[in-house]
Structure 1
């Protein structure tokens, strides 16, 4: 009897190796991209101003006249673009394809969607961009070939130090004060770039929840809260790579925190 869970554990058990196995099964790149598309959009909810993305869009609306304000995302979807459009914010969605950074001579090339970078808010999709379409046949080849999801994709990308996605991240981390929202900061590749550009004292900020999920003696999942000592250890850990921690109660409290930030901006 087949046991897919055992197979995933045997080859590494990480999200990258799982994605690699899935791509090996769906060898056709359009079929693989369509599977990703369905996961992203099939259960999408209606736009809601009181969500995290709704508050981020409002923040962008208030800061869009500042030419230094930019957004970098590791997500593939166009949900933020939808919220920005809802807010009347014109944005340029920027991405590149794997063929660009696999060839060092063309690695700086990128594509902009819905406008030019000097005319709109710039939204950088450094791991690829797969906007919503109605059918599989409507998937665009450039979007399909932009997706960096598998182990092979990540190895190729992060071994190209002059590629557009790497240069973009280094530019963000070196030249800007960044606020990390909904990002666990567990990706070793991102952490390496942060460490390269780290300042002392740190100038970046990350919102993290104090609550986390644990298991009791029976194996049941129960919510727990980091102790003061635990939070201090976490803060010291991220301080080294240039990040100050902003604690919130749990993930559901992030929109509330962003709402207060929006209210403080005139």
Structure 2
């Protein structure tokens, strides 16, 4: 959502120019997006059946187990520094940190760079230790997640071999490995987080390309969180993690779950893979995304307009009611995100609730087992 008055005015100008087209198309698009999903699911099932599907997982899939997103993780670590710097109680530091990030919002990369340097200079705790503490502060492996259960089932073997080509995960945890180990059928897999780890032909590779830091384990590697590591990734295009991603993005069909496609290195690697695929390539990757909640966006818009009389008057002059404004802004944002994903060679599967991820995966598995593809 735009935050400043100028950004909102610019958005309203876009709405004014597109409103007639949107009036004709928005309801039809909202009605038909599930039909569009069917074609996407058929294509994913076809790739899954032919051992050509790569599962790409982001932080969103671990939320049910108390694992924080990247931004929340940084907020937790920042809380610790506020407690030290202000000599305040834990509760007081938490309030100060939350107020600070609202008044002076930081780029996550800038915040991570500050935190890395802070712990390096303070010496009371290693940055990686601080990350691990914050990462698993509310961790609960016993939480039941239907979405994650279905993700694990995609890793099951069929006729003696796994159907997935591989898994790429940007998560530091080993929740997926634990879930696969709990499956009724034994699945051979190999956790890979450095260059000298090579899977056997019968093993499902699980690539932790941003590092590996499981709870209560000595198996750990350097993690990708701060800006310095991102710059290192930019410089070293031939690192094992970059090469792994490029090869999979170029040669396979990928299904992105729990990912926003905002990571700068991921976008760069998708662009590189697209160039290598060639202009005439018609194969797509797929990303599962939740549609924006109409009521939440409406409340945000109402709050913004209530605080800005000039903007409220502009909206009235444009003959836009609140419901219409909300509908159009959401549709424009969906269009922006769809086009952005397509520019990276990725089609969007829209869902209304996060719980529907498991339904999509069930449908993929069911189609791959009971339908024959040409």
Worse overlay, 211-220 or 189-198: 211-220
Inter-CA distance 256–94: structure 2 relative to 1 (3 Å threshold): same
Structure with more relative contact order (C-alpha pairs < 8 Å, separation 6 or more): 2
The answer (yes or no) to whether the contact 1:202–1:244 under 8 Å persists in 2 is no
Which of 197, 201, 213 is the aligned partner of 2:282? Answer: 201
User: Tell me, what secondary structure is at the counterpart of 2:288?
Assistant: strand
Which ranges of structure 1 fall in alignment gaps of 5 or more residues? 97-108
The answer (yes or no) to whether the contact 1:94–1:111 under 8 Å persists in 2 is yes
| Match of residue 347 from structure 2 | 244
Structure with higher Rg: it is 2
**Pair 1:71 & 2:149 matched:** no
Inter-CA distance 123–42: structure 2 relative to 1 (3 Å threshold): same
| Rounded Cα–Cα distance in structure 2 between residues aligned with 1:9 and 1:208 | 26
| Rounded Cα–Cα distance in structure 1 between residues aligned with 2:124 and 2:172 | 16
| Rounded Cα–Cα distance in structure 2 between residues aligned with 1:29 and 1:128 | 23
The answer (yes or no) to whether the contact 2:112–2:226 under 8 Å persists in 1 is yes
| Match of residue 123 from structure 1 | 206
| Match of residue 187 from structure 1 | 263
User: Tell me, what secondary structure is at the counterpart of 1:70?
Assistant: strand
Give the C-alpha shift of residue 69 in structure 1.
1.1
Give the C-alpha shift of residue 23 in structure 1.
1.9
The answer (yes or no) to whether the contact 1:94–1:124 under 8 Å persists in 2 is yes
Q: If each structure's strand is expressed as a fraction of its own residues, which one has the higher value? A: 1
Q: Deviations over 1:84-131 (max 9, x none)?
A: 1111323111012xxxxxxxxxxxx3346xxx4434110000110011
The answer (yes or no) to whether the contact 2:141–2:175 under 8 Å persists in 1 is no
Give the C-alpha shift of residue 188 in structure 1.
1.9
Give the C-alpha shift of residue 180 in structure 1.
0.5
| Rounded Cα–Cα distance in structure 1 between residues aligned with 2:125 and 2:363 | 42
| Rounded Cα–Cα distance in structure 2 between residues aligned with 1:159 and 1:7 | 33
**Pair 1:166 & 2:251 matched:** no
| Match of residue 84 from structure 1 | 180
Give the C-alpha shift of residue 179 in structure 1.
0.5
The answer (yes or no) to whether the contact 2:234–2:265 under 8 Å persists in 1 is yes
TM-score (norm 2): 0.57
TM-score (norm 1): 0.77
Q: RMSD between aligned alpha carbons?
A: 3.2
The answer (yes or no) to whether the contact 2:257–2:288 under 8 Å persists in 1 is yes
| Match of residue 217 from structure 1 | 302
Give the C-alpha shift of residue 252 in structure 1.
3.0
Inter-CA distance 16–264: structure 2 relative to 1 (3 Å threshold): same
| Rounded Cα–Cα distance in structure 1 between residues aligned with 2:215 and 2:345 | 35
Which of 144, 147, 151 is the aligned partner of 1:52? Answer: 147
Inter-CA distance 29–159: structure 2 relative to 1 (3 Å threshold): farther
Give the C-alpha shift of residue 50 in structure 1.
4.4
User: Tell me, what secondary structure is at the counterpart of 1:13?
Assistant: coil
